[in-house]
Amino acid sequence: MKKFFKYFGIFILVALVGLVLAVAMRQNRTFDAPYPEIAASTDSAVIAHGKYLFYGPAHCLDCHSSMEDVEKVNAGVEVLPKGGRIWNLPIGIVTVPNITSDKETGIGARSDKDIARALRYGVSHNGRALFDMMPFHNTSDEDLTAILSYLRTLPPSKNPVTTFQPNAIGKVLNAFVFKPVGPDREVPAAVTRDSSALYGEYLATSIANCRGCHSDRDLKTGAYIGPEYAGGFKMPIDGTTDEFMVTCNLTPDPETGRITDWTEEQFIARFRQGKKIKTSHMPWGPFKTFADSDLKAIYRFLKTLKPIKNDTGPVYVKS
Instruction: Select from 115, 144, 176 the last residue of a domain.
Output: 176
Check whether residue 203 and residue 308 sit in a common domain. Answer: yes
Q: 214 and 172, same structural domain?
A: no
Q: List Cβ neighbours of 287 (8 Å cut-off, separation of 6 or more).
A: 56, 57, 59, 208, 271
What are φ and ψ of residue 234, in 5° steps? Answer: -90, 110
The verdict on residue 206 lying in a domain is yes
pLDDT value of position 315: 87
Span 162-176, pLDDT tens digits: 778 889 988 888 888
For residue 241, what pLDDT is reported? Answer: 59
* Structural domain count of the chain: 2
For residues 290 and 248, membership in a common domain is answered with yes
Model confidence pLDDT, tens digit, residues 113-142: 999 999 999 999 999 998 888 889 999 999
- Collapsing DSSP states into helix, strand and coil, what is residue 315? coil
The helix or strand, by DSSP H or E, that contains position 199, with its residue range, turns out to be: helix 197-206
Taking the C-alpha atoms of residue 132 and residue 116, their distance in angstroms, rounded to an integer, is 15
pTM for this model (two decimals) = 0.91
Mean pLDDT, range 9-20, rounded to an integer: 65
Mean pLDDT computed over 42-70 = 96
Tell whether the model's pLDDT for residue 51 goes beyond 70.
yes
Question: Do the domain assignments include residue 260?
Answer: yes
pLDDT of residue 61: 95
Residue 244 within any structural domain of the chain: yes
Quick one: the chain helix, strand, coil %, rounded to 5? 35, 10, 55
pLDDT given at position 164: 83
Based on the domain organization, do 244 and 289 belong to the same domain?
A: yes
Cβ(215)–Cβ(230) below 8 Å? yes
The domain in which residue 249 lies consists of: 198-318
144: in domain:
yes
Q: Can you give the pLDDT at residue 11? A: 61
Would residue 225 count as lying in a domain?
A: yes
pLDDT tens, position by position, 148-163: 999 999 999 999 987 7
* Residue 88 in domain: no
Do 131 and 227 lie in one domain? The reply is: no
- Of 16-20, 31-35, 258-262, the poorest mean pLDDT is in 16-20
* pLDDT(227) > 90: yes
Q: How far is CA 64 from the centre of its chain?
A: 11
The total of other beta-carbon atoms located within 10 Å of residue 267's CB is 17
